[in-house]
Amino acid sequence: MFGHLAPTRYSYSDVEKMTSCFGHKIGQGGYGGVYKVKLNNGSPVAVKVLNSSKSNGKKFFSEVISIGCTYHINIVSLLGFCLEGSTRVLMHEFMANGSLEKFVYTERQATPNLNCEKLLKIAIGIARGLEYLHHGCNIGILYFDIKPHNILLDDDMHPKILTLG
């Protein structure tokens, strides 16, 4: 959908405008809040405003550039970011079914669309994404935070690994 483009840097005021002053919150976690926005071309995007960080901006920027240079069907695309002072914002492709966590930790009756065949396809997709990160991309990213919370599912239940945020 988005192709292979370097992530765009946005100002905080741009992020405020895009999110209508953070009006459509779709999630909250220990990392911060997530908002759903539509880009000018109509594509939905998840905007994650990270909690204030004491880490230096160089490390955040380095991670953004590293992940922004990767592209794989099983890796969530990083589309943009904001780094102003202690403010850290990440913009990812929007994944309609959210995280695998909500399907794994709910009653089986609540998730009838996850049969054995679908679960196998999800597991294979995750394995392919990890193989790409560890061996396939130019910079060789070692990913140690694999868990259902960091696996996002698109509208067809295809898995993608969330590598930042």
The answer on 132 and 57 residing in a single domain is no
| Residue 145: active-site member | yes
Structure tokens given for 70: 């990767």
Residue 3 lies in a domain: no
Residue-level pLDDT at 45: 92
Closest CA to 93 of 43, 30, 150: 43
Q: H or E stretch including 38?
A: strand 32-38
Residue-level pLDDT at 113: 65
Structure tokens given for 5: 């483009």
| Residue 44 contacts residue 53 (beta carbons within 8 Å) | no
Owning domain of residue 38? 8-93
| Prediction pTM value | 0.85
CATH at 59: 3.30.200.20
Structure tokens given for 44: 């939905």
Residue-level pLDDT at 120: 95
The answer on 64 and 115 residing in a single domain is no
- Which 8-state DSSP code applies to residue 56? -
The answer on 112 and 78 residing in a single domain is no
Amino acid at 160: K
pLDDT tens digits, the chain, 165 residues: what are they? 455 568 889 999 988 888 888 878 888 877 788 999 887 788 899 999 888 765 677 888 888 888 888 889 999 999 999 998 888 899 999 999 999 988 887 655 555 567 889 999 999 999 999 999 999 887 878 888 889 989 999 999 999 999 876
Last residue of a domain, one of 93, 115, 141: 93
Alpha helices (H) along the chain: 12-18, 57-68, 101-104, 116-131
Residue-level pLDDT at 66: 83
The answer on 105 and 89 residing in a single domain is no
Residue-level pLDDT at 17: 87
Residue-level pLDDT at 6: 81
Last residue of a domain, one of 44, 64, 93: 93
Residue-level pLDDT at 105: 72
Q: Which of 14, 145, 154, 155 is catalytic?
A: 145
Residue 2 lies in a domain: no
The answer on 59 and 117 residing in a single domain is no
Residue-level pLDDT at 159: 97
Residue-level pLDDT at 103: 84
The answer on 59 and 114 residing in a single domain is no
The answer on 83 and 154 residing in a single domain is no
The answer on 132 and 88 residing in a single domain is no
Give φ, ψ of 63 to 5 degrees: -65, -40
